[in-house]
Structure 1
Amino acid sequence: MASGSRQDERAGAEIVCGAEACKKSSMEMLEELGFPKGVMPLKDLIECGRVRDTGFVWMKQEKPSQHYFEGSKSLVSYATEVTCYVEKGRMKKMKGVKSKQFLMWITISEMSVDQPCSGQIHFTTALGITKSFPVTAFMTEEDESKSSLT
């Protein structure tokens, strides 16, 4: 049953394969949604998919990875597959993303940025607890150069 619903969830998807194509596609999506490009530093992507009608997105990497965000002083773990539903300024029903807080891994279920941007990015746990950081804590050098031009 789970695989049937998984198939339904992915019906009509735009699918991209290969590391370079996936990285380009995921960076374009983050920019389109208003997120800093560094917020999802997945490694060795092998497949990305997006169903524009429903907003369902998935990103598969070769193996799970971790990334330490210096700007927020947080360690984040990404599963082999990360899924969510996206809309402008928001990723919800996230699966595959956890943050280490106080020696415990906490599942992140939602990320959002205010529209228009207030300069804050908000992370919400499955329990509804929200923590906010400056957007700059997740920006790449490319993001920073763009923001300095405007």
Structure 2
Amino acid sequence: MPKTQAITEELKSMAEVYDGDQVCREKFSLLLAELGFPDGLLAVQDIQECGYAEEIGFVWLKLKKKMEHKIENILVSYDNVVTAYVEPNKIKNLTGVKVKPSFFWLSLTEIYADDNAQGSVITFKSIIGLSMSFPWSMFQAEFEKEELMEYQ
């Protein structure tokens, strides 16, 4: 599993840092949208701190405690600290996130948004090279799904 990037005072001095669950979820949702991802991609709560060092593309989330979240038939586990480097349509060097699509856990290292013949997809790549792609709509926040249903 990739080692979590240390969140040093030097790194914090380069970043926009926010405290508190509500503001962190709002800022992180905006960042995901800016990067080309659905805002429900990382469905976490009880965020104590988040930060984004735009110059180097480094982001982090510090959670109160480890948590699990189920998206359809996939269990997702988040450590207390989630870190990554981001760029448009790509999250790389991801640490602190694992998925359990069936009987075993896979540590994720990369997530990217792409279009294929079936439409927009989100692809997750594991540390051992396995990848899984899912429809974009699986990761839209509930309010987005409701809005889409109302206007279609």
Compute the TM-score of the two structures, normalised by the length of structure 1.
0.86
**1:54 maps to which of 38, 43, 56:** 56
Deviation at 1:143, TM superposition (A): 2.7
Alignment match, 1:41: 43
Q: Which amino acid aligns with 1:131?
A: M
The alignment covers a number of residue pairs equal to 147
Q: Which amino acid aligns with 1:125?
A: S
Counterparts of residues 137-148 of structure 1 (less than 5 Å)? 137-144=138-145, 145=147
Deviation at 1:11, TM superposition (A): 4.5
**Whole-Å Cα distance in 2 between the matches of residues 28 and 69 of structure 1?**
21
**Whole-Å Cα distance in 2 between the matches of residues 133 and 114 of structure 1?**
10
**Whole-Å Cα distance in 2 between the matches of residues 107 and 141 of structure 1?**
26
* Alignment of 1:92 onto 2:92: yes
Following TM superposition, the consecutive aligned residue runs of length 4 or more in structure 1 with deviations greater than 6 angstroms are 2-5
**Whole-Å Cα distance in 1 between the matches of residues 25 and 123 of structure 2?**
23
**Whole-Å Cα distance in 1 between the matches of residues 63 and 32 of structure 2?**
17
Alignment match, 2:133: 132
**Whole-Å Cα distance in 2 between the matches of residues 28 and 21 of structure 1?**
11
More helix by share: 1
Compute the TM-score of the two structures, normalised by the length of structure 2.
0.85
Aligned residues: CA RMSD: 2.6
Deviation at 1:141, TM superposition (A): 2.5
- Residue ranges of structure 2 left out of the alignment (5+ in a row): none
1:28-75 Cα deviation digits (max 9, x unpaired):
1111111111110111001000110110000011000000001xx100
* Identity across the alignment (%): 33
> Which SS does the other structure have where 2:55 is aligned?
coil
Q: Check 1:136–1:8 CA distance in 2 against 1; reply closer, same or farther (3 A cut).
A: same
